[in-house]
Structure 1
Amino acid sequence: MSLGICLSLFLLVCGLSSSLAQSNNTCETYSQTNCQQCLSNVSCLWCIQSSSCLTYPYQTILPPSSLCPLNDARWGQCGINFQTLIITLSVLAAVIIIGFFICLFYYCKCENCGNSLQERKMQRKAEKRSTEQEHRRTEMMARHDEIREKYGLSKAGNAYARFDNP
């Protein structure tokens, strides 16, 4: 039922119903019938207030209230009026748009949070590695200094001076 309405609305918006309106059976010939027979032609609009079948004004997308009030206008299905259809479609579109933006903002925020968190973790690890490396370097230099003192090699003097004087 709703698939038929959506398909009919799509045909209407695309302007394909204009070619149907030029067929031999005009909508006004269905005025003496009922809603179902009138709406069998996609280009027709049934007005409950006047019990008439009218050619849908596809140039304006929505029928003007002078032609037929939205509460009384039927198109595609006899059980659904334009006012209900417009409200339903607008609420559905708003929910989809809001959902899209919520997902978009959530994804962007989580991606930024994840990157900054990862960057901070990487910086902390790099700092830890550099401090450990510096600590090892100072320990190694201290051991080298001890070895130099043990064998009488001073850091300030010539390292080979001892070997020159036997």
Structure 2
Amino acid sequence: MMDLRILFPALLLVFGLATVFAQTPAPDQVCESKNGTNCEECLKNVSCLWCITTKTCITYPVRTILPPHSVCPLNDARWGLCWMNFQILIITLAVLGGVIIIAFFICLFCCCKCENFGSKRFEAKMQRQAEKTRTKQEERKAEMKQRHEEIRKKYGLSGQNPYSRFA
């Protein structure tokens, strides 16, 4: 028997898509049927474009990114909002996009700069610690050498080590 965990979401998807396609009429019919209405009624459907000069509701020409001047001039076209013309909408979105891109690059630059500053500071700290360790090690070596010399003097072994020529 088929697993219900797979069957249930598949059935929900099929019924959901069937419901959506059954309720959505063709967009050409929806927009053109609202020609005698006002801008608010026309723009309830996002695929519609309202032209103020001709007071017509038309389907947004998606093949061209911007509606051509022959359909409706940009400053008379309304899409999404009745109080904002299409030209201002495009300019506003372009400015907002530019600000977001510039802000992104500024943040990226600042983060890289701060990261490099932090790594340089970290490297300097590590060098100081290594230098400190090196000096302590040299001091200990000198102390050990001095102690060995004192022990040699104490026992009269201050002469040259006979095994030194093998080293």
Compute the TM-score of the two structures, normalised by the length of structure 1.
Answer: 0.73
Question: What CA distance in whole angstroms lies between the structure 2 residues aligned with 1:28 and 1:157?
Answer: 110
Q: Percent identity?
A: 61
Q: Does the CA-based 8 Å contact 1:27-1:38 persist in structure 2?
A: yes
Greater relative contact order structure (CA < 8 Å, 6+ sep): 1
Contact 1:70-1:82 at 8 Å conserved across structures: yes
Matches within 5 A, 1:1-150: 22-23=26-27, 25-150=29-154
Partner of 2:13: none
Deviation at 1:82, TM superposition (A): 0.9
Task: State the secondary structure of the residue aligned to 1:62.
Answer: coil
Aligned Cα root-mean-square deviation (Å): 2.4
What is the CA–CA distance in structure 2 between the aligned matches of 1:153 and 1:36, rounded to whole Å? 109
Change (3 A) 1:152 1:90: same
The answer on whether the counterparts of 1:74 and 1:82 sit within 8 Å (CA) in structure 2 is yes
Q: Which moved more, 1:149-158 or 1:118-127?
A: 149-158
Moved more, 63-72 or 35-44: 35-44
Per-residue CA deviation, residues 57-79 of structure 1 (Å, 9 max, x unaligned), is 01112211221111110112211
1:24 and 1:46 map into 2 onto residues whose CA distance is 14
Q: Distance in 2 between matches of 1:55 and 1:151?
A: 109
The TM-score, its normalising length taken from structure 2, stands at 0.73
**Within the alignment, does 1:151 sit opposite 2:155 as a pair?**
yes
Matched-pair contact (CA < 8 Å) for 2:28–2:59? no
CA displacement at 1:103 relative to structure 2: 1.6
Q: How many residues end up aligned between the 2 structures? A: 141
Residues 68-116 of structure 1, C-alpha deviations (whole Å, 9 max, x = no match): 1111101122112111111111111112112222222222221222112
Q: Which runs of 5+ in 2 are unaligned?
A: 1-23
